[in-house]
Structure 1
Amino acid sequence: MVHRLEPLVVRHTLRLPRPTGPAGEGAVAARQFDAALMSVGFKLSAELLERLSGLGEGTVVDTAVRTLGTVREMVGDHVAHNVYFVDFPANVPDTYDFWMRCIAGALADDEARDSVLEQLGEGVVDLLTLPSYGRYQHTYAEMLGHHDELIAAAGDRMTVLHLGGDPDEEVGALYLALAGSSTPLGEESLRDLDVLARACVEGPQPETVPVRENRAVLNRARVRAGSPPLLDTVTDVLRLACALSDGDVTLVGPTRFRKLSRPLRRALLAGLDSVVAASPAKLADVRVHREAWKRLGERLHPHEYPRWPHAADVFAVARGEKRAPSFDGRVEELLGMHDVTGAAKVLKSAPGKLFRALDRLLRMALDQEERDSVVAAAEEVVGEVSGRVLLSVREHLANRAQDTGETRVFVNRLGRAWVTEDERPPVLPPERERLIAVLDEELRRRLPDPGHLLIDPDALDVALPLSGRAAAAGLGVLPRGSVSPVDGELLRFFVYWKQAAHRTDYDLSALMLDAEFATVCWLAYTNLKDLEGEHSGDITEAPDGASEFIDLRLGAVRGEYIVPQVNIFAGEGFEEVEESFFGFMLRDAEQRGRPFEPRTVRMKSGLRGPGRVALPLAFRRGPDGRWRAKWLHLYLRGAPAANRVEGNRVSVATLLRGIVEREQLTVRYLTGLMDATTTTVWDGGTFPEGPVTYIGLQRPEGLHPESRIVVPENLRDLIPE
């Protein structure tokens, strides 16, 4: 079991659980392992290399095989990345000349000639009907023969794997960290928690599970193991039912409930009965998901269990046969009468809801007395609100200055983004500033004493991960809104996808915008090369997987913004394909190498969103001439088919403007609230002798063993409870 769970530990912590086995002379095999890791941009820490060197060669080899498979997948090197133009980025043809060449080739093909002649007679030729268009014309091995070896450079990525503790302890610690997370997990992390929960259900459990989706995953493991679930709302029971049917525990999408065994039905109904018996007012929550409750009732048959009458009440409310006045309904009734003071007083009994409603209450207040009552209510209960909600409201207020922008950007929990006009009146400065001061003081009170705070300056502009869904799973990925430096001469984007059942065509494109967000140019299959760089060629189907690349010479880029995007031209969506991911590499001009070189990959993230156009991140040139990445993790709805960069450049520019102009809460903000005895901005040199709280983009070697280390993999630990 430990070996099965080891990849999860490596992916989430960049630690390799302490390898065990008979002592031996494993030094040679350990160095070979280290060299193999370096070829894909990873490296053993000195402590881990020493540990492996003292083990038998067989143990080292087995460990190497497992670990190499894990890290290669992390960086995207587990698949073969072929390109259409075999010499890419060299010898990429002019777009029009290339199309004419494809037509000429089709006219020389006996099977294709008649169709092409007919199309030419009508004046329009469908590129997809040309035999040589959109399909690899050479094997992966033949492509490799056209490229020189990569020349190593000091700027190549080198991610260090550190020595972990006992395997069972590492697995248990990861389980507790994910289960007890104060912020929602992303899709992949939630799946990993499910695996860990089943393995750790009999072991130590987190003191609290504040995120309801996490609780549903844990409850499924507990119920299957015969333990009572953790339930305190009726919605907890609904989420558990969704989990037992392998459905959506976030309740965003519908779940097709399965036929459940009698023991599971009894567990769900008994849980419902106990929750409602303890607090009948919780029946009010049923109406929020009444359709899901009605479908679940068809599976649970509550009428067969008269000993649990309170559970039957849940389904009576869902069917409209029983009234259950809701808390939200009472608040809406007061607001409908413009009784802002009364609504604020009622909301004090639900502090989180009060803080989420502050903007609306202040906008509806008719006079200073009402505005003062709203702020006073917030001041009274601020200590009862979760840290994540406090930070969300603090960020919201920072973007609600009196001079509001013309647009408002919305991003839902799935990453779907859209823009609308912002017609809200502002939150007036006195209340806004008073609330910000209250929030800052409360957050400062909750933050632990960091002692000596050591900060990597590149981490200061990383956005706080208020939700795990604000970042895709992958390597080198930062939360939405983060800004990180980009150093290199060549910037290369890549996308890989493998269709599951139907022909699927993804198109990688890059849009260049000026300082006013107007289009300068783009690179795509319709414009294969320009002053800025080259496109590797259009691949129009991926039964065995396909890749596309864009090479950009940063010094030649016109404009101030680069926006890579992945458009779905045809076929399966990002959540339907067997696999899809995006990333970027940085290289020096003379490094050469294959189109895909894992040790030059700086970021690789999964594409798993609801739209037809993916916007992973954007790049902005600063006043100092240095490029920086702005992390987006967004999806546009797009069209059902034939999405192209030319068709969405206006909406992309509008969305980017709204994101760029929005103020994010970052590591810089939170560390500014910390009451550190000493704060040092690390310059890459030696470390202090004693323990520190280190915050950076990667865990360095040489820190005191008792140091607290915060890196992107556990950045959520900074969020106060």
Structure 2
Amino acid sequence: MSQRLESLVVRHTLRLPTPDGPAGNGEAAARQFDAALMSAGFKLSAESLARLSGLSARTVRETAVRTLATVRELAGDHVRHNAYFIDFPANVPDTVHFWMRCIREALADDDTRESTLARLDAGVVDLLTLPRYGRYQHTYAELLAAHDALIAAAGDRMTVLHPGGALEDEVTALYLALAGSATPLGEQALLDLGELAGHRVHGPQPGAIPVRENRAVVNRARLDAGADLLLDTVTDVLRLACALSDGDVTLAQPTRFRPFPRPVRRALLAGLDAVVAAAPAKLGDVAAHREMFKRLGERLHPHEYPRWPHAAEVFAVARGEREAPSFDSRVERALGAGDVTAAVRLLSAAPGKLFRALDHLLRACAGEEQREAVVAAAESAAGRVSGRLLLSVREHLQNRGDRAEGDGGHRVFVNRAGRGRVVADTRPPLPPAERGRLIAALDAEVGRRLPDPGHLLIDPAVLDVALPLSGNATSAGLGVLPRGSLCPVDGELLRFFMYWKQRERRTDLDLSALMLDESYETVSWLSYTSLTEIGGEHSGDITSAPEGASEFINLRLDAVLGAFVVPQVHVYAGEGFDEVEESFFGFMLRDGEQAGQPFEPRTVRMKSDLRGRGRIALPLAFLRGGDGRWRAKWLHLHLAGMPSANRVEENQMSIATLLRGVVERDHLTVRHLTDLMRQRGAAVTVWDGAVVPAGPVTWIGLERPEGLHPDSRVVTPENMRDLIPA
């Protein structure tokens, strides 16, 4: 179990917990460990190397085995990446010529000649019936033998592993950080929190668990351990029941509740009873999830427990046997009557709901007096709203200006599963004066809550990283940034890779790349139907992956036509992204003279898991700026797609529209928070890559540099949620 916990610490923090072992002369083993790490694009910091060198060689070797397995998986190097065309990216044939070769070979095969002739007579040939098509024609060993070794380049990625404390201390710190996060966690991080909570339920706890989904996961561990539950709404109990059934604690998807044993039923009913007894008005929350409460009541049998009558009231409301008007319904009645002032008075008691409704309230106002009431209420309530919501509303407001009504703007909606859709923005603009006052109030309140950073040292590459305001705005992996983030792309060759392994059914995932011009019109694409285009090659189509399969796209950036490159993964047949045993996407950057294998972990800049309920995944896009330089824009989106046969040709318009909506949105970035700190008088230094200061600093960057003072506060993408004020 300690090995699993150590792996969690390394993945989430890029810190190597201090191994538990005897002292000794482990210098030689530590240097061998460092060399092995570098082959995967990682290395030990000088302090980590020195610490390991003072341990026994056996301890170092055992640590190396565990850590190498973790970091190789982070970079996608834990599987074998074979390519259909053995010489890829060299000698990739023209698409039609390749298909004709497959047909000729099928005609030369006694087993397939007759069926192929019959299909040719009908005028249509199914590529999947051709014996050569979609199946590896060589082994992974043969692929390796066909390629020269990678020549190291200065631009190769080297992710540094810094020294951590004792494993127990590191696990506790990680648990507290995840459980107490001010922003929702991604799917994998939420699973990791559940695992950590089981080990730390009787240890130190965060001062508060503001995110309800996190609280549900922690409550499951507390229930299993017999500890008191953390409940203050009836919905907290519903989320806990979903967690106990391995369902969706976000409540976005219905959960099939399991039969609960009596001790669990008693705990859930007692929790509901206590919440309603303390605040009967909270029965109004039942209506938002009426059907789920009805299903839960069928599992809990509240009639068998008359000692908890308030719990029974919850299910009576769900069944419609008792009236419990919700808070939202009272607000809607006031707005329906045109009484914005009354709606504002109600919402002032629920500041979070007030801030979420600001846009709607301002558009519903009949005159200046009502608008003044809305803005004044928001200014008064700002101090009682979470920092995440303040920043979310701030981002919303900065995207609601400088646009005339009906000018053809777009709104992008992304649900908690990352499913994206775009609609025309038909809303009238917000009044400029009130919008300006609200933005100023939000900035003042966020600035007031930001801690004094002392000497703030900033990596300029992090300034355009979007603030992680939502867990669905990112995914688990290496080098992954929140949706809307921009980062430079420095390299001559850009190579996408995608890997998947099916679980039960034949599954065909297809990697494609769409090239668009400045007007978001299609220029060209690379896919299994277009293996070669100007500046690029596709590695070939694999149509089944019982043992795992990979596809690649190679692009020479100076030869790419157009302003946008949009890599995407389509489910052509079989299991979806949430069903396959494993699937992930990433990209590599290489210098023009670097050859090597199709997949080289040292050149991997980003690798992210492909998870989601859509049938088309859009991890990120690449944008060419006016200076000719390329940058990556993070999307983390899914499209619904078709149940099968999804192809880039059929989805060009929807992808272009979605891309335009994300690209043209003004995301709130790290730059905004650092500007607020600067306005408060913080000493801010933009790091030039030289030696770091000798004293403690607050460092914000994409990676932690060597030599920081041990008392420095370090913020990197792994813990960037810590920037969001409580």
TM-score per shorter chain, which class?
over 0.9
Give 1:310-389 correspondences, 5 Å limit. 310-389=310-389
Give 1:140-151 correspondences, 5 Å limit. 140-151=140-151
Alignment of 1:678 with 2:683, yes or no, is yes
Measure the CA separation in 2 of the matches of 1:720 and 1:199.
27
Measure the CA separation in 1 of the matches of 2:422 and 2:152.
44
Measure the CA separation in 2 of the matches of 1:52 and 1:82.
35
Stretches of structure 1 lacking an aligned partner (at least 5 in a row): none
Measure the CA separation in 2 of the matches of 1:185 and 1:408.
24
Give 1:144-159 correspondences, 5 Å limit. 144-159=144-159
SS at match of 2:571: strand
Q: Give the deviation of 1:242 after TM superposition.
A: 1.0
Return the match for 1:551 from 536, 546, 554: 554
Counterpart position of 1:28? 28
SS at match of 1:20: coil
Counterpart position of 1:564? 567
Measure the CA separation in 2 of the matches of 1:193 and 1:166.
19
Counterpart position of 2:446? 443
Residue deviations 1:527-583 (CA, integer Å, cap 9, x gap)? 101111100000000000000000000010011111000011111100000000000
Measure the CA separation in 2 of the matches of 1:653 and 1:226.
52
RMSD: 0.8
Residue deviations 1:469-499 (CA, integer Å, cap 9, x gap)? 2001100000000000000000000000000
SS at match of 2:524: strand
SS at match of 2:634: strand
Are the counterparts in 2 of residues 402 and 427 from structure 1 also a CA contact under 8 Å?
Answer: no
Counterpart position of 2:532? 529
Measure the CA separation in 2 of the matches of 1:342 and 1:554.
58
Q: Give the deviation of 1:676 after TM superposition.
A: 4.4
> Are the structure 2 counterparts of residues 167 and 330 from structure 1 closer, same or farther at C-alpha, using a change threshold of 3 Å?
same
SS at match of 1:164: strand
Alignment of 1:635 with 2:638, yes or no, is yes
Residue deviations 1:231-254 (CA, integer Å, cap 9, x gap)? 000000111111111111111111
Counterpart position of 2:174? 174
Counterpart position of 1:695? 700
Q: Give the deviation of 1:4 after TM superposition.
A: 2.4
What is the identity, as a one-letter code, of the residue corresponding to 2:115?
S
Measure the CA separation in 1 of the matches of 2:309 and 2:471.
38
Measure the CA separation in 1 of the matches of 2:369 and 2:395.
25
Residue deviations 1:217-266 (CA, integer Å, cap 9, x gap)? 11111111111110000000111111111111111111111111111111
Measure the CA separation in 1 of the matches of 2:93 and 2:616.
26
Alignment of 1:295 with 2:298, yes or no, is no
Alignment of 1:426 with 2:429, yes or no, is yes
Counterpart position of 2:7? 7
Counterpart position of 2:719? 714
Counterpart position of 1:279? 279
Are the counterparts in 2 of residues 449 and 676 from structure 1 also a CA contact under 8 Å?
Answer: no
What is the identity, as a one-letter code, of the residue corresponding to 1:92?
V
What is the identity, as a one-letter code, of the residue corresponding to 2:398?
A
Q: Give the deviation of 1:408 after TM superposition.
A: 1.4
Give 1:500-649 correspondences, 5 Å limit. 500-649=503-652
Are the counterparts in 2 of residues 452 and 676 from structure 1 also a CA contact under 8 Å?
Answer: no
Identity %: 73
What is the identity, as a one-letter code, of the residue corresponding to 1:547?
S
What is the identity, as a one-letter code, of the residue corresponding to 2:281?
A
Q: Give the deviation of 1:402 after TM superposition.
A: 4.4
Measure the CA separation in 1 of the matches of 2:658 and 2:300.
45
Aligned residues: 721
Counterpart position of 1:467? 470
What is the identity, as a one-letter code, of the residue corresponding to 2:647?
R
Alignment of 1:255 with 2:241, yes or no, is no
Give 1:174-213 correspondences, 5 Å limit. 174-213=174-213
Measure the CA separation in 2 of the matches of 1:281 and 1:677.
45
Residue deviations 1:172-195 (CA, integer Å, cap 9, x gap)? 000000000000000000000000
What is the identity, as a one-letter code, of the residue corresponding to 1:73?
E
SS at match of 1:325: coil
Counterpart position of 2:128? 128
Residue deviations 1:342-384 (CA, integer Å, cap 9, x gap)? 1011100000000000000000101111111110111111100
Measure the CA separation in 2 of the matches of 1:100 and 1:698.
49
Detail structure 1 runs of 4+ shifted over 4 Å in the superposition: none
SS at match of 1:247: coil
What is the identity, as a one-letter code, of the residue corresponding to 1:140?
Y
What is the identity, as a one-letter code, of the residue corresponding to 2:27?
A
Measure the CA separation in 1 of the matches of 2:701 and 2:237.
39
SS at match of 1:374: helix
Counterpart position of 2:103? 103
Return the match for 1:667 from 662, 670, 692: 670
What is the identity, as a one-letter code, of the residue corresponding to 2:569?
V
Deviates more, 1:289-298 or 1:405-414: 405-414
Give 1:23-172 correspondences, 5 Å limit. 23-172=23-172
What is the identity, as a one-letter code, of the residue corresponding to 2:463?
L
Alignment of 1:264 with 2:264, yes or no, is yes
Are the counterparts in 2 of residues 106 and 116 from structure 1 also a CA contact under 8 Å?
Answer: yes
